[in-house]
Every structure is written in structure tokens, then in C-alpha cells.
Amino acid sequence: NNCPPEKYVEYGEQEIERLCARFRLNANKIENSFRDYLENSTTIPKDLNPLINYTKLIPCSSGEYERGFSHMA
């Protein structure tokens, strides 16, 4: 588990709240599902799936990064 031990209870909550606000998702339901996932990471709770699907839409790079990579070659 990659959670910092001193903040295990609150790990990722601010990020989840921000993403839920951005995508208009029920933050309480998703935070509870995330806590369930942290306790039992063998299965992903179904209430966590909407957030997972939305995060797949977030670009991992931008034109600025692409230009930087092209100059490296």
C-alpha cells in the first residue's frame, strides 16, 4: 500500500473532493468507496468507477511537454 502511514485516514481526500467537484460527482459516496478500497484493495467498489472513468479523460501531457520531448530527440 502506497499510503503515507501518518495520514492514512485522510489519504487522497482533498484530491477526490477536487475531482468530484470538477466532474459533479457525489464526493461523500466516492470518498467512502475510496476508504473501502484502501481497506480491501482486492476489488474496486462500483461507486468508485465514475471517478475512475472521468480520470481517464484527463490529459497526461500538453503541447508544452510534447515540444520539450521533441527537442530532446
Which structural domain, as residue segments, surrounds residue 44?
5-72
Q: For residue 1, what pLDDT band results from cuts at 50, 70 and 90?
A: low
The number of folded domains in the chain is 1
| pLDDT given at position 10 | 75
DSSP secondary structure of the chain: --S-GGGGGGTTHHHHHHHHHHHT--HHHHHHHHHHHHH-TTS--GGGHHHHHHHTTS-S--HHHHHHHHHH-
Q: Which of 8-12, 15-19, 41-45, 48-52 has the lowest mean pLDDT?
A: 8-12
Task: In whole angstroms, give the CA distance from residue 30 to residue 59.
Answer: 22
Residue pLDDT, tens place only, 3-40 = 555 556 677 889 999 999 999 999 999 999 998 888 88
